Structure 1
Amino acid sequence: MGKDGQPLGSNELFQRVRARLKAAVGEDVFNSWFARLELEEIVDDLAHLSVPTRFLSSWVQSNYAEKILEAFRAEAAGLARLHFTVRVNGQARPRLHQAEAATETVETEVPAIPVTPRTVREPVAAAPAPRGDALSGSALDPKMTFDSFVVGSANEMALQVAKQVAHAAANNTVSFNPIYIHSSVGLGKSHLLNAIAWAAGAAEPGRNIVYLTADHFMYHFITAVQRQSALGFKEWLRRVDLLLIDDMQFLQGKSATEFGHTLGTLLTGAKQVVVAGDAPPRDLEMLDERVRSRLSGGLVVPINSFDLDLRRAIVTRRAEQAVSRFSDAHFAPAVLDYVARVVVSHGRDLDGAVNRLLAANQLTKEPITVALAERTLADLVRQRDARRVRIEDILRIVSRHYKVPRNDLLSSRRSRDVVRPRQIAMYLAKALTSRSLPEIGRRFGGRDHTTVLHSVRKVEQMIKDDGELAQEIELLKRMLEE
């Protein structure tokens, strides 16, 4: 019964409870900790809930049990107790009998009681990683597998290394450790890390495989500190068999320090670590020198810019996939050649180019020709041609031109000989790269986006007022675009 005395089905009741929880904790926290919480059944005054991992069960009980019970009571006054179990092996859970409830219930008055895993059903959208306690990992993309990865001379070594890691997981061995893959944006780093996770999980379902973006790592570490549960989060990370960290360049502050401790622990225990970033380890200024040294001491694998042959192969593969979904679409060889020749930035732009042409064809029924490609992709070509500079390149050029140490550009120093070059570097990052203001701020020592915006506007005004400075910045632009 609901509070109004009317019958209320379990599904409807739980949807209302979820809505109350989302309103109480906010969408980000809800998605992190409650999205995979399921109501199994209600027995008298007891609500039986299940989660995919022991880590999540312990976390939710320790931090949110009272809030969950409060939400249940708001919808069904008779509910007084919560019972948590862990879904295991995807098998059907036997019904919770009254006798079991008397011995296994977790009372919310107790801060945290260990949960005994029970065999329950696993929902379709359960795990973001193939197996293991990876609930707090980032979601994997099912399209990013080894089968869908297009190989060429620029990425062949990275692909072979990634396959070796996945194969080693099946034999419970570690070959190269750690492995660090780096390239500029959109060249396949995330694809390879996702592919490793899928392949390793399929080869050895019992292994604990965790894929995390740097932003996700920071979010959960900060949340754990705020909830005074950092120890549990650290222990969970150190129990993984294969740790995959993406977008390493965005790791900042105490989260970077914690990653360093975790890396050392995993390597000492011979656990496999694979990291991806958009710069070599030596250029990751936000990391401690010892961490950069450990990453450099492993296997560092670059992915180079795509040559024409690889771009043509990618466009051809994407066109074949498009035609398999829309049989009336046709990509002539001349169109594929044109796209591969003019879209020279990275793989995502190649994917986007094919999608644009397909959309134009399906919406207007105009054949996919070179003329259509010229009209449809004109802005993409212009924008991307002007934005192939990396922030690492800007830091290097500005540091050398103004004779300011690279670390000073990222520091909090406020002397004039450092502030102006730093502002110019931020301006160039905004003008010549596709990075957002928050991303640029993170790359410049963890600064706020408003600081970046102030620097950009300051330099724009100086360019208007000082013709000599305007010429100097134009020279820097030419140096960066060569």
Structure 2
Amino acid sequence: MTEDQDALDLAADWADISQGLKKDLGPQLHTQWIKPIQLGSFCKETGTLDLFLPTEFSANWVADRFADRLSLAWKIARAEVRQVRITAHPRRRSMPELRVGGASGAGAGTVINLAAVRDAAGSDAASRSAPAPAERKAVAPVAGFDPAASGIDPSLTFNDFVPGSANVLALNAAQRMAALETPQFAPLYLKGSTGQGKTHLLHAIANAFVANRPGARIFYCSAERFMIEFVQAMRQNEMIEFKARLRSFDMLLVDDIQFIIGKASTQEEFLHTIDALLSAGKRLVVAADRAPQALDGVEQRLLSRLSMGLVADIQAADIELRRQILEHRLSRFTSSQVPQDVVEFLARTINRNVRELVGGLNKLIAFAQLTGQQVSLQLAEEQLTDILSANRRRITIDEIQRTVCQFYRVDRTEMASKRRARAIVRPRQVAMYLAKVLTPRSYPEIGRKFGGRDHSTVIHAVRLIEQLRTRDADMDGDVRTLLRQLED
């Protein structure tokens, strides 16, 4: 009874530790490396706790990177734990088995004894050959696709991807790659700068592909992870397993391929993987922040394979697409009221990439909800200072005054004059409003640039133009035109 209680206590402690590591490492790393850990025995005399993983490869990977973190977590949870030992499960040490299941048929798979494969041959061809009939045995149907275990985010779908002129080619190509019909191009190479939607499309392809082909096997990884697993497999003399595992997937998706540059042995293996997948009619999608021809240090054969399919460019989102992305995102926050002038402000100001745009909106809404404040232009400026300053083009108040005067056909000196004629006051107020929206200047600083006016005058002008834009279509049209002129 005591042993059973000890086991339950250990399991409870591990559940708490695992949850803490999930928060620290993120769901993807946790699912890939921490979740498969099984509790072993605990020796009270030596204070040693055994943690098991399915293979030598995964055990060594976790031991190299997370041993200290796991040991500290256990010592905090249980003072009697003095040492954590991470090894492959005893029943799996002889030779791991790899389950290979296709997308067709009833979903039944085959278990390949990799020790037999290694004994049979030492070449790449051997790793892809079928085992002898005597080595085959029946297995349960391959389990359904688990997005978390595959590193795929189920929330990143085509339905959640906002289309526009900047990404229409990449989106259409991605949808073709996920369809039942064999795509006309292979591989698909998604090219775009940071935060423009490459990773979203990779996850959307995976989700749609499995929806169309239940039971399909998909592997998603970064180029960095590919290199790490490759090096570990070489060190542990498990290259046959590594190659067989990669070639067993129906679709391979590799993100940030630019980080594979300069690694000759990794490039060689990636080249063979591409050839094996494509020759078997399987699908390959890669993403990078630059075109294949701009990848420095990539050997010509690999460069040729990456370029042989379709290179789909994702351009920076234009102002209209940024507006649509914000509106789409806001549809999720039914209880949050975000004024249109704030949406316009964010769309125009945060223009470097979509990830920063959505992150800025999320931060603003979260702050408003947690503090009970109303979302406003002033709140956006106060809470998003870092993001806004990084995105703003350095538009000056002088440039704003000059543009407004040309638009309304008034003399530049009127911006600082004391005249209160409506034909002069309204352009001056518009210029003050634009100065606040497009520059980081404070209200007093803006007032000084308009003939030494008090900050309260500037605040009044900004609020007035904000109100006029909501009820006067002509005023809103004037401001939009001026914003385009100043930001182009």
> Does TM, scored on the shorter chain, surpass 0.5?
yes
Q: Distance in 2 between matches of 1:59 and 1:343?
A: 43
1:35 alignment counterpart: 35
Amino acid of the structure 2 residue aligned with 1:36: P
Amino acid of the structure 2 residue aligned with 1:289: Q
Q: Distance in 1 between matches of 2:283 and 2:153?
A: 21
1:318–1:127 distance in 2 versus 1, CA, 3 Å: same
The structural deviation recorded for 1:259 is 1.0
Q: Secondary structure at the match of 1:244?
A: strand
* Structure 2 residue 321 is the aligned partner of structure 1 residue 314: no
* Structure 2 residue 312 is the aligned partner of structure 1 residue 301: yes
The structural deviation recorded for 1:359 is 2.1
1:307–1:300 distance in 2 versus 1, CA, 3 Å: same
Amino acid of the structure 1 residue aligned with 2:213: E
* Structure 2 counterparts to residues 52-451 of structure 1, below 5 A: 82=91, 119=140, 127-128=146-147, 137=150, 139-167=151-179, 170-171=180-181, 173-252=182-261, 253=263, 254-321=265-332, 323-324=333-334, 327=335, 329-385=336-392
Can you give the 5+ residue segments of structure 2 that lack an aligned partner in the other structure?
Answer: 19-24, 41-50, 63-82, 102-112, 120-134, 395-487
CA contact (8 A) 2:61 2:232 kept: no
Amino acid of the structure 2 residue aligned with 1:365: G
Can you give the 5+ residue segments of structure 1 that lack an aligned partner in the other structure?
Answer: 21-26, 41-48, 65-73, 90-105, 130-134, 388-481
Q: Distance in 1 between matches of 2:203 and 2:10?
A: 36
The structural deviation recorded for 1:363 is 2.7
CA contact (8 A) 1:88 1:122 kept: no
Q: Distance in 1 between matches of 2:338 and 2:59?
A: 55
Amino acid of the structure 1 residue aligned with 2:284: V
Q: Secondary structure at the match of 1:180?
A: strand
The structural deviation recorded for 1:87 is 9.6
2:132 alignment counterpart: none
CA contact (8 A) 2:143 2:215 kept: no
Amino acid of the structure 2 residue aligned with 1:7: D
The structural deviation recorded for 1:306 is 0.7
CA contact (8 A) 1:87 1:122 kept: no
Q: Distance in 2 between matches of 1:147 and 1:341?
A: 25
Q: TM-score with structure 2 length normalisation?
A: 0.56
The structural deviation recorded for 1:312 is 0.2
CA contact (8 A) 1:180 1:275 kept: yes
1:457 alignment counterpart: none
CA contact (8 A) 1:86 1:119 kept: no
Q: Distance in 2 between matches of 1:363 and 1:17?
A: 32
The structural deviation recorded for 1:376 is 2.0
Q: Distance in 2 between matches of 1:30 and 1:335?
A: 37
The structural deviation recorded for 1:311 is 0.2
The structural deviation recorded for 1:178 is 1.0
The structural deviation recorded for 1:270 is 2.6
Q: Distance in 1 between matches of 2:165 and 2:154?
A: 25
The structural deviation recorded for 1:221 is 0.9
1:86–1:331 distance in 2 versus 1, CA, 3 Å: same
The structural deviation recorded for 1:188 is 0.3
CA deviation map 1:154-212 (0-9, x unaligned): 01111111111111xx34x2421011110100000000000000110111022222111
CA contact (8 A) 1:85 1:118 kept: no
1:382–1:62 distance in 2 versus 1, CA, 3 Å: closer
Identity of aligned residues (%): 33
Amino acid of the structure 1 residue aligned with 2:276: T
1:320–1:237 distance in 2 versus 1, CA, 3 Å: same
CA deviation map 1:7-28 (0-9, x unaligned): 34655556789989xxxxxx99
1:38–1:117 distance in 2 versus 1, CA, 3 Å: farther
Q: Distance in 1 between matches of 2:58 and 2:220?
A: 21
CA contact (8 A) 2:258 2:288 kept: yes
Q: TM-score with structure 1 length normalisation?
A: 0.57
| Number of equivalenced pairs | 320
Q: Secondary structure at the match of 2:193?
A: coil
CA contact (8 A) 2:38 2:52 kept: yes
1:15–1:291 distance in 2 versus 1, CA, 3 Å: farther
